[in-house]
Structure 1
Amino acid sequence: MKDSMKFLRKEKMLEMIRESDFVLETVDARNSLGTRSIKLEKLAFQLNKQFAILLNKIDIVPAEVVAECIKYFKDKGIIVIPISAEKNIGRGEVVNFLLEIKEKLGKEKIVGMIAGVPKTGKSSVINMLKKKDSANISPLPGKPGYTKSTSIYKISSGIYIYDTPGVFPDARDYIEKTIRSSPPEKLKDPVSIAVELIQKASNISKNALSKIYKIEWSGDPYSFLEALAKKRGWIERKSKEPIIDEAARTIIIDYLKGKLKIYKKCMQNS
């Protein structure tokens, strides 16, 4: 794995979970099941750790999708706390959960870890909990702000939390696994991924793409990529053909940043 992309290896993950009083996992509410780590969850439960999923970015997902995913996880016996680190929603609920663990364990100090698939908002959550911008943030894998090593932060009196490198996505969702495991410029086939993202966005709202990019939606993702490349001036010098790879990377980046409104219901992906 390139130096720009660090993942928490299973051995290190196991060691950190074993030493933790609690484990928090961030998932992206736009695709809750596709951005979770089954391996992380299994280890946390096997070691009998206090565990909760932080359902992040609920502000950019319809309320009914959030409610369905909360029910999905609760039916599985998993504690889930809906939050938006960007909008400072859910901070009190997370802190109260940690305070309850501290009281339950009867300790003056508890230390836990926050982990998750890259770009689900781990560092943003830490900043929300601390009420300070201490953890570096980037919306894109492999960019400055991507967590490459563990760091510990004080959340509240007697509550400390480790920020960790990303954990590998659940392999069931190819798109999420691919775009969260490599920087956009390193993707081998950005076009096929962008085509699927464009199709998903148009299925949710036919006018969404036109509103964002000011390009008329014809119903053909490839034509849309060509139009976007021409609009942005990405043209091959010799052939004068549009560079659709650049347009495709733009679509992927906009999805990761939350600009492109795409979401998947939990029951669609279970």
Structure 2
Amino acid sequence: MATPPPPQQGAGGPYSPHAPHHPYGPPAQPGAQPYGAYGAHPRPGRYGCILCGAWPAAPATVRGHQGLIVLMRFLSLRGPFCRDCGLATYRRMSSDTLWQGWWSPLSFFVTPVTLLMNLGPRAAFRRLAPPAGGHRPPLDPGRPMWRRVPVLLFLVPLLLLFLAIPALVVIGAVVGDDTPHPLTSGQCVRNKGDWTDQKLVVTDCGSPAAEYRVRRPTAATGPCASGDYLARPEYSPDGTLNCLTPLR
């Protein structure tokens, strides 16, 4: 009597390479997110932050510079970075560049370019959402740039230089110069020097500081009167000596 064949389990048998085999559970459904020890990455195939593994992360390169008298060092750290790690890296490398990047002749030009190049990554980091799902906590961004000691040490001299220019203009306008200016008849002046080194300054005739009234000698007015002083030729447009009549 012939033995009947064993029952078939699918077209290829239970161990056939064509048979469904799911030793770790059912297959993932289309559209389902993979999972792991730290949560599912929302965009499979994309990497998280290079420092903490969190996402979202932006690809960027943060740069730094060091001047070494006769040598230079060009520093860079390439991402992607999450928001917090990116800002922490940008602030650290930029603040270090502000006090380390000036100490060679060419570094004086390279340092500003480096700082400007870091503004692009900074803007990209600030647009990111808060980091999540990393394998370690993200870096602490720390204090903003304008509150860090290297930045203050750089900005204070720059601010003083910026304020010095208008201050010198104002001082020059208030003090004036000692170059003789031509006088006209009827003006009142005071002498800030002595008569061998005249420094005649035009003054309001109603001011107590006014000392002399200018009079130009002509055929109609006649020569200078007795007791008048003579202004130096530099105070006349044609070299004629003006008369200075005392007001008191």
Give the shorter-chain TM-score range. under 0.3
User: Which protein has greater RCO, CA pairs closer than 8 Å, 6+ apart?
Assistant: 1
Structure with greater proportional helix content: 1
Q: TM-score, normalised by structure 1?
A: 0.19
Higher Rg of the two aligned structures: 2
